Amino acid sequence: MSEARDERVVLRGLTFHYRDWGGHGQPLVLLHGLASTSHIWDLVAPLLADRFRVLALDQRGHGESDKPEDGHDFDSVSADLDSFLSALGLEAPVLVGHSWGGNVAVHYAAHKPEVPKALVLVDGGFLELSSWPGMTWERVERELAPPDFSGFTVDRLLAEAPRWELGPIWGPAVERAVLANFFVDADGTIRPRLRREHHMRILRAIWEHRPSALYERVTCPVLLIAAAPPSPHARDSFMRAKRQGVAAAGRLLSRCRVVWMEETVHDVPLHRPRELAQAIAEFVSGDLSPPG
């Protein structure tokens, strides 16, 4: 199984970190979600690297990439991605985005339709918070703000982890991916790599984002993989909005296939890495040529 190399590249005056599993052939560029890092792909990428060229980028403000005070909007993040593709000479890439990363992929493909060969949207790319019934920015700001980890140590984080959504699948690989989201100080206390104020700026950008208005400009094939959590009834309103968003994407994207992964948490790359890698490989290995 391929081992990743940690690499850095200067793009638009900022230093970006990315993980490179090597490989040959069709390039796959993996984009993490909000407050995550490239390490969320550590279980999926090695399963793809024997057939494809596989890289995962730490987007601005995240992971080991630079953390500027500005540029947390979709236009800026998409420009980062465009510079990354150009700097590494990645032609006709397949963009694989998880959660917010899926929205980034849609935004990029709508504005640069000639570049991507295809998109894979992993429980993302359909998120349109403003369309949820009764949702306001004030509610988003209150309900979706990041947890306060002030004073947390690694030990406390790991002790509380079993109560999280990832608790049932917790293990060494999941632990490494989660810990990659934090700086660990000498005394064992942790700090999120994505600063809270930057997190909230991205959340505001997500609130203002309208992927449904972009779908008609996406001309490449799209595979949308949506997760249906093990206990959806606890969040019925969320699942209704999610299913509506997925249905709209499937209807409005000109070349879209939707696959639901049942009994799966939002962090699909950690929960179902083999199934996800297989779905990506089968999609990319199929006919992605334009119709006609």
Domains along the chain with CATH numbers:
12-80+90-133+194-285 (3.40.50.1820), 147-193 (no CATH)
pLDDT for the residue 59 = 98
pLDDT for the residue 178 = 94
pLDDT tens, residue order, the chain (292 aa): 678 999 999 999 999 999 999 999 999 999 999 999 999 999 999 999 999 999 999 999 999 999 999 999 999 999 999 999 999 999 999 999 999 999 999 999 999 999 999 999 999 999 898 888 888 999 999 999 999 999 999 999 999 888 888 888 999 999 999 999 999 999 999 999 999 999 999 999 999 999 999 999 999 999 999 999 877 555 677 888 899 999 999 999 999 999 999 999 999 999 999 999 999 999 999 978 776 5
pLDDT for the residue 232 = 54
pLDDT for the residue 238 = 82
Question: Which three-class secondary structure state does DSSP give residue 134?
Answer: coil
How many C-alpha atoms does 10 have within 13 Å on its Cβ side? Answer: 1
Contact between 62 and 193 (Cβ < 8 Å)? yes
User: The tokens 């992927």 sit on which residue?
Assistant: 211
Helix axes 74-87 and 100-111, enclosed angle (nearest 10) = 70
Contact between 9 and 15 (Cβ < 8 Å)? yes
pLDDT for the residue 36 = 98
pLDDT for the residue 292 = 58
Contact between 246 and 138 (Cβ < 8 Å)? no
CA 57 vs CA 54, 95, 98, 121: distances in Å: 10, 11, 12, 16
Contact between 220 and 284 (Cβ < 8 Å)? no
pTM, full prediction:
0.96
Contact between 82 and 112 (Cβ < 8 Å)? yes
Any idea what DSSP says for residue 89?
Answer: T
pLDDT for the residue 264 = 94
